[in-house]
Amino acid sequence: MKNSKGISLVELLMVALLLGVGLTGVGGMFTAGLISNRKAAHITAAANRASKEIERLRNAGFTGAVVDYERFPYP
């Protein structure tokens, strides 16, 4: 009968391999989450800027909504 008091080297290598594969997947998900969070922050900032600009134009009244055609020449 075999004496099994410890863990063999093969078992340790298998556990290390499985942990490595698992942690690689978790790292990939973490990176994807960070990228998604950064994109969402940029979209939110752009929406807030647009909202402030719309409010500024609404508060300026009709006489303040003059388009400067010299600034945007015809293509």
* Structural contact between residues 30 and 22, judged by C-beta atoms closer than 8 angstroms: no
The per-residue pLDDT for range 13-43, each reduced to its tens digit, is 999 999 999 999 999 999 999 999 999 999 9
How far is it, in rounded angstroms, from Cα 27 to Cα 21? 10
Please give the pLDDT value at position 66.
61
| C-alpha to C-alpha distance for 19 and 13, rounded to whole angstroms | 10
pTM assigned to the model: 0.55
The Cα–Cα gap between 47 and 17 comes to 45
d(CA 35, CA 12): 35
Handedness of CA 42, 43, 46, 52 (dihedral sign): negative
Higher confidence at residue 46 or residue 2? 46
- Average pLDDT value over all residues in the chain: 84
Q: What is the mean pLDDT of residues 1-20?
A: 84
